[in-house]
Amino acid sequence: MYGIHSSAKEQITKLVENLFDTVALRFVGNLPKLQQKKTMLIGFEQNVSLANLFIQAMNNRYPNILEQDVLKGLLDGAYSYIDILKNKTSNNITQRIDGLAREARISGDKIPQDEINKILKDELDKARSGLETIIASEGTKTRNLGMAMDITRAAASTGDKDPIVGFAVIRDGSTCPICVKLCVMPDNVTPRLYRMSELNAGYYKRGDTVPSILGQHPHCRCTLFMVPSDWGFDKWGKITYIGIGHDELAKQRTA
């Protein structure tokens, strides 16, 4: 017993693919994989994508070969996650509708429109939730990696191969307790410092005792900043020049 025709399945799949590819075009930008789909975006639509974010995080400097490669990896990674979600959503929608159609044909009835709408709403809501996670986490990752690349380059120019960094935590009342614990000292004011090499370079995992360069979670707003030698923090936790020979990291670790 069949459900919906294969041609209908193909059309549904194409509609869902177009929906996700449009999102990917807006978010990731004009990847080679999306070349054929770029006409989906209206020509005069101003589009700011992950690539712009990366360049902005690098202080609008032209990326070198290494940074271009990092950016390419970031864009490919982000597109892969969207692609996986696209296939999952498209498959879920067609399979669920196909199942309903099969049941309806067996019973000699038709599918109520409400049931179709319910399936579509359910799947598209799930897709939106998944997209939000992907977009938030990939955005955070791109921004922080851009910052990390910029800090590394600036530090290397002064001969420092392993710069001291901290995370600027946005303290607006909705900051997550993990970010505060990992990125702020127990006085709840002074940023906690790390060597760049000590930071976790992958996604943050529960129980990790050091923050991740990529951010602690998808909506993480903590941002890397460098603390040059001789610099430290005032009593409000704001970075300031202390004096020649001052080592803020050593001070924090001996306290």
With contact defined as beta carbons under 8 Å apart, do 120 and 12 qualify?
A: no
Interface mask toward another protein for 153-192; x: CB under 8 A: -------------x-x-xxxxxxxxxx-x---------x-
- Using CB under 8 A as the binding rule, whether residue 150 contacts another protein is answered as yes
With contact defined as beta carbons under 8 Å apart, do 100 and 115 qualify?
A: yes
Q: How far is the CB of 62 from another protein (least distance, A)?
A: 14
With contact defined as beta carbons under 8 Å apart, do 136 and 130 qualify?
A: no
Give the CA count within 13 Å in the CB-facing half-sphere of 168.
Answer: 11
For residues 139 and 49, what is the distance between their CA atoms, to the nearest angstrom?
9
In the complex with another protein, the residue whose CB is nearer, 32 or 109, is 109
- Among 73, 86, 109, CA closest to 19: 86
For residues 153 and 163, what is the distance between their CA atoms, to the nearest angstrom?
10
Q: Where in 59-98 is the site for another protein (CB under 8 A)?
A: 59-60, 81, 84-85, 93, 97
- Using CB under 8 A as the binding rule, whether residue 56 contacts another protein is answered as yes
Q: SS3 of 181, please?
A: helix
Q: How far is the CB of 194 from another protein (least distance, A)?
A: 14
In the complex with another protein, the residue whose CB is nearer, 127 or 155, is 127
Q: Which of 30, 33, 37, 130 binds another protein (CB under 8 A)?
A: 130
Q: Which of 6, 48, 195, 230 binds another protein (CB under 8 A)?
A: 48
**Candidates 68-76, 122-130, 156-164, 241-249; binding stretch for another protein (CB under 8 A):** 122-130
Q: How far is the CB of 36 from another protein (least distance, A)?
A: 18
The helix or strand, by DSSP H or E, that contains position 239, with its residue range, turns out to be strand 239-241
